[in-house]
Amino acid sequence: MHENIKFRQLVEELVSVIPAGRVMTYGQIATICGKPRAARIVGGIAHFGNTDLPWQRVVKKDGSLASGYPGGVNGHKRVLESEGVTFHQMKIVNMQELLWRPKI
DNA sequence: CGAGTGACCGCAA
DNA sequence: ATTGCGGCCACTC
C-alpha cells in the first residue's frame, strides 16, 4: 500500500510529539517522514501549517535558529531558553544531547 | 492547473 | 570559523 497520508500531516504529527526542552531539525523531520530532501518544505509547513504546534522545537541542523518564527530569532531563542535549552551565541549547546529521536 | 516560493542543507572558497 | 551559491520539492495562490 502506498502512503496516502500527506507529507504535511506526517510532519505535523511528528512535531506535536517533540517533548519540551528537546529539539529536532528540519532535515531530520523530513527524512523520518520519507522525504530526505524536503527540509525546506518542513519549513514551509512551519510557516503555513498548524500554529498550535511546538514549532519552536524545530531548529536548523547546526543548532542555529531559522528566521520566520513569530518574534524573530530573538523571540524564538527566548522561548527555547524558557524550556531549558541553552545557547552559545546563536547556536544551541549540546545539540547531540537535546536532539529528540522519536521511535519509529 | 502551473509557476513561484522558501522557518533548509551541503559543499566550495 | 564564516560566507555564498545551487539544488531541492511540497505548498500556496
- A27 contact to strand C (CB, 7 A limit): no
**Residue whose CA lies closest to nucleotide C7 C1':** A37
What pLDDT score was predicted for residue A2?
57
**What is the spatial distance between Cα A63 and Cα A88, in angstroms, rounded to a whole number?**
10
- A35 contact to strand C (CB, 7 A limit): yes
pLDDT in tens, A6-58: 999 999 999 999 999 999 999 999 999 999 999 999 999 999 999 999 999 99
Please count the structural domains in chain A. Answer: 1
CA angle A62, A37, A40 (to 5 degrees): 65
A104 occurs within a structural domain: no
What pLDDT score was predicted for residue A104?
73
Q: Residue A67 forms beta bridges with which residues?
A: A69
What pLDDT score was predicted for residue A84?
97
Give the CATH number for residue A64: 1.10.10.10
The pTM is what?
Answer: 0.95
Q: Say which DSSP state A93 is in.
A: T
Q: Which residue has the cell 518564527?
A: A69
- A41 contact to strand C (CB, 7 A limit): yes
- A6 contact to strand C (CB, 7 A limit): yes
A103 occurs within a structural domain: no
The mean per-residue pLDDT over the stretch A83-95 comes to: 97
Structural domain including A20 reads: 3-98
